[in-house]
Amino acid sequence: MRLKRMLAAALGFAMMALPVAAQDFIADIPRNETLIIQGPASQNAEWFNLWAPGGGASNNGLQQLTADTFWWINPEGTGETAWTNALATERPSYNDDFTQMTVKLREGIYWSDGVEFTAEDVVYTVETLIANPGMNWSAPLTVNVESVEAPDRNTVVFTLKAPNSRFHTLFTVRWNAAWIMPKHVFETVEDPLGFANNPPVSLSAYVLHSYDPSGQWVIWRLRDDWQRTSIGMTVEEEPQVKYVVYRNAGNPDARVIEQMNHNLDVINDIAPEGMFTIARQAGANSAYWFDGFPFAHPDPTLPSVLFNHQVEPFDNRDVRWALALLIDIRAVAMGSYRGAANLAAMSTPPTGTAITDYYEPMQQWLTDFELDTGAQTIKPYDPTVADQIAALVRPQWGEDIPEDPEQLKSMFGFGWWKQDIQAATELLQRAGFTKQGNQWMKPDGTPFTIRLMVEGDNIPTLARAGTIIAQTWSMEGIQTQVDVAGPTNGQRLGAGDYEAATYWTVETWGGHPDLSFFLESYHSDFIQEPGAVQPPRNLQRWQNEELDAIIEANRTVAFDDPKVVELGMDYLKLAVEEMPFIPLMAYNKFAPFDTTYWTGYPSAANPYSASGPFWSNTRYMIVELEANANAPQ
């Protein structure tokens, strides 16, 4: 009995002690002035050198809140509003043959230690990076820059080694860009690669407040002189977010719990199931990219089924098209994202400006597109896929799913290819394949099997998509084995050590129609021999003369030239005809916001900023947020 009494007493004590023992979530900082954002863990927390490789976790607020450069593109934006002149006062100015770029700098910008930012900082940055191979942005600057000069305090002139109409993109932020170094700090350092830069001098509106030596969190504070920064000059009133906490919030389940406990205002990504839990249980205190289902924010990246063109039979266009026509995209959307996928039939993500520049104008071309299977000509495009997926998810989400076809397109995509087993059969037969029982045989008489590589748990939605596609192909007579590559995924893709894979090789500016962001690296000049490492991004090693011609033409036109869109369309049509990889969807991220303390987050209806907190563009969100008047005090 005594033992039982002791146990009961211990339990009772624990029940009382635990709540009493609880501490404030953050010590000595007012919660209602603090925005808490999911960040990465940093191994070397003491490091704040953005220019050293691996020198600290750059996306723990360092690049978002302290760094700056000439121009920024909002990946969610369209038209003129997507472009921002930050440290520069105007767009880049090239000479006629694109061998010289002149940049006019903004006046009145100061580093956080009170030193004025001038053209000398830019010249120092470029020269220092070139002089130190291995530093971030050293290699592209070395390849391009012949010399850099500052004729006056506010002008920088770059002379290039060869014509390059896209040189300015090195200094244009989408995720990041070549950040400007504080000359007065780094010039006192012997080895800029070995310099911790702690505390970092900031060129943006926030400065380092404190950090965890274990790398779990970093706290940033609004600068007293926030107006003397390029972002400070874009806002009319003092930003209400005084402190920004980037914290490693653990695994996806923990992130959901932390947000529901109001300890994590901004999530970078969670699984669809976590998103649905937040929407159902904490919907009153949450905001999302879409007001309801599918909630997710589409990144300007394009998950696809990649084929290694240096491995037979994936070098055969008929085989690639046959594999595309075997896929039931509805099953892929339901199985990977539980329906919350933004489908893409074309080889550019259906986000930002691509909607108005490419997807809307090319719908008729897609509908009219004919594919000769050898036995018949078909029109494979199905513009009603969004309606079909809406019908599949409506029983679960009811009134959240609108009837308006235009709204459905923005939620689920414009259309995709019809599953057409007969056409796929005809294409395979034309390629010399035969069917024995339910097994397709290659022209050499061996069974047609595929190893489909997926990364695994790191990107669960793509692993699920790969598994469903593998099942479909297997059912149709092409035995497909899912190959989980884990941390070797990127390396194996680079070395061409795969047959097929679910990953992406297309990323775009999002807020600008120029496709050189990824397309430049698709030129056949850069294709490596099998086994050698392929530079990003043409990991499928697609080689095509027409493609080369498009890329070469794009090099000769200016970034903002209307011909950019025409050339973009030429590429998209070629990619449909050749099907070098099978585009599936935009990379949808489930990134809910907690509105308990802050409101005014970006959304599909008001895409004024990137919403992914690892993107440097998030800074435009942070200075615009408004304190929730009903927040707990």
Partner 1 sequence: MDGFSKYLVRRVFQFFLVVFLGITLAFLITNLSPVDPVEQTVSLMTNFGATDPRAVELMREALRELYGLEGTVLEQYAAFWSRVLRGDFGPSLSSFPTPVMSLITAALPWTIGLLTLSLAFTWTLGNLLGALAGYFRSNLALKLAGAAVMALHPVPAYIIGLVLLLIFGFAWPVLPISGGAQMNLTPGFTWDYIRSILIHGTLPALSLVLVGIGSWFISMRSLVSNIVTDDHVVYAELGGVASRKIFSQYVARNALLPQLTGLALSLGNIFGGAVIIEFLFNYPGMGRLLIQGIYRGDYSLVLGVTTMSIIAVAVAVFIIDLVYPLIDPRVRLG
Which of the residues 179 through 238 are near partner 1 (CB under 8 A)? 193-194, 209-210, 212-217, 219
Nearest to 109 by CA among 217, 238, 191, 203: 203
Nearer to partner 1, 34 or 66 (CB): 34
Q: Does 4 bind partner 1 (CB under 8 A)?
A: yes
The nearer residue to partner 1, 19 or 437, going by C-beta atoms, is 19
Binding mask 472-491 for partner 1 (x = CB under 8 A): ---------------xx-xx
Other Cβ atoms less than 10 A from the Cβ of 482: the count is 19
Interface with partner 1 in residues 367-426 (CB under 8 A): none
Q: How far apart are CA 520 and CA 21, in angstroms?
A: 58
Residue 145 or 424: the one with the smaller Cβ distance to partner 1 is: 145
Smallest separation (angstroms) from partner 1 to the CB of 191: 9
d(CA 81, CA 69): 18
Q: Taking a C-beta distance cutoff of 8 angstroms, is the pair 111, 229 a contact? A: no
Interacting span for partner 1 (CB under 8 A) from 129-137, 539-547, 592-600, 602-610: 129-137
Cβ 368 to partner 1 shortest distance, Å: 33
Least separation in angstroms between residue 215's CB and partner 1 is 7
Go through the chain and tell me how many residues it has.
Answer: 633
Member of 33, 41, 102, 561 binding partner 1 (CB under 8 A): 41
Report if residue 140 touches partner 1, rule: CB under 8 A: yes
Kindly report the backbone phi and psi dihedral angles of residue 221, in degrees, each rounded to the nearest multiple of 5, phi listed first: -125, 145
Q: Of 65-73, 182-190, 514-522, 545-553, which part binds partner 1 (CB under 8 A)?
A: 514-522
- Indicate which single residue of 100, 494, 524, 557 sits in contact with partner 1 (rule: CB under 8 A): 494
| 305 is a site residue for partner 1 (CB under 8 A) | no
Q: To the nearest whole angstrom, how small is the minimum distance from the Cβ of residue 18 to partner 1?
A: 4
| C-beta of residue 113 within 8 angstroms of C-beta of residue 98 | no
Token couple for 491: 């390396």
Q: Which amino acid is at 188?
A: T
Residue 261 is encoded by which pair of tokens? 């406990």
Count of chain residues binding partner 1 (CB under 8 A): 82
Evaluated on CA atoms 28, 33, 38, 40, the torsion sign reads negative
Least spacing, CB of residue 193 vs partner 1, in Å: 7
Smallest distance from partner 1 to CB 263, Å: 9
User: Hey, which residues between 540 and 569 contact partner 1 (CB under 8 A)?
Assistant: none
Assigned token pair, 316: 């055969």
Q: Which of 104, 106, 174, 464 binds partner 1 (CB under 8 A)?
A: 174
Please pick, from the candidates 11, 43, 97, 131, the single residue that binds partner 1 as defined by CB under 8 A: 43
Stretch near partner 1 under the rule CB under 8 A, chosen from 223-231, 234-242, 429-437, 516-524:
516-524
Among residue numbers 149 through 168, which ones bind partner 1 (CB under 8 A)?
A: 166
In the block, residue with structure tokens 């005084």: 242
Among 526, 557, 574, 608, binds partner 1 (CB under 8 A): 526
Q: Under 8 Å CB-to-CB from 448, ≥6 apart: which residues?
A: 313, 433, 439, 440, 441, 442, 477, 478, 479
* C-beta closer to partner 1: residue 139 or 391: 139
Interaction with partner 1 in 612-631: which residues (CB under 8 A)?
615
Chain mean position to CA 320: 26
The full 3-state SS of 337-383, as one line of letters, equals HCCCCCECCCCCCCCCCHHHHHHCCCHHHHHHCCEECCCCEECCEEC
Q: Which two tokens stand for residue 549?
A: 């011609």
Amino acid 517 reads F
Nearer to partner 1, 399 or 525 (CB): 525
Please select the residue that binds partner 1; options are 388, 536, 553, 574, rule is CB under 8 A: 536
Per rule CB under 8 A, is residue 297 in the interface with partner 1? no
Q: Are strands 593-594 and 155-160 parallel, antiparallel or unpaired?
A: unpaired
Near partner 1 in 442-461, by CB under 8 A? none
Among the listed residues 113, 535, 577, 626, the single contact to partner 1 using CB under 8 A: 535
If phi > 0 it is left, if psi is from -120 to 50 it is alpha, else beta; for residue 541 that is: left
When asked if residue 632 is in the footprint of partner 1 (CB under 8 A), the reply is no
Q: Does 134 bind partner 1 (CB under 8 A)?
A: yes
Does 28 engage in binding with partner 1 (CB under 8 A)?
yes
The two tokens of residue 142 are 């070395």
Distance (Å, whole) CA 205 – CA 66? 7
Q: Quote the CA–CA distance of 52 and 193 in Å, as a whole number.
A: 5
Residues 289, 293, 299, 305, Cα dihedral to 10°: 180
Shortest spacing between CB 270 and partner 1, in angstroms: 14
Q: What is the dihedral of CA 44, 485, 467, 530, to 10 degrees?
A: 130
Is the C-alpha dihedral spanning 92, 96, 100, 105 positive or negative?
A: negative
Gap between the Cα atoms of 94 and 364, Å rounded: 37
Stretch that binds partner 1, among 17-25, 119-127, 434-442, 557-565 (CB under 8 A): 17-25
For residue 628, count other CB atoms closer than 10 A to its CB: 16
Give yes or no for residue 505 binding partner 1 (CB under 8 A).
no
Nearer to partner 1, 421 or 533 (CB): 533
Smallest distance, partner 1 to C-beta of residue 45, A = 8
CB of 58 to partner 1, least distance (A): 9
Return the H-helix or E-strand segment holding 297: strand 297-299
Three-state DSSP at 293 gives: coil
Q: Find the binding residues for partner 1 in span 47-76 (CB under 8 A).
A: 47, 52-56
Least separation in angstroms between CB 134 and partner 1? 4
Closest approach, Cβ 430 to partner 1, in A, equals: 34
Q: Min. distance of Cβ 95 from partner 1 in angstroms?
A: 20
**Least distance in angstroms from the C-beta of 351 to partner 1:** 14
Q: Are 366 and 577 in contact (CB under 8 A)?
A: no
The site string for partner 1 over 231-270 (x = CB under 8 A, - otherwise) reads --------------x-xxxxx-xx--xx-xx---------
Long-range contacts of 222-228 (CB under 8 A, 24+ apart): 223/112, 225/110, 225/112, 228/108, 228/109, 228/110
In terms of CB distance, is 27 or 629 closer to partner 1? 27
Contacts of partner 1 in 314-353 (CB under 8 A): none
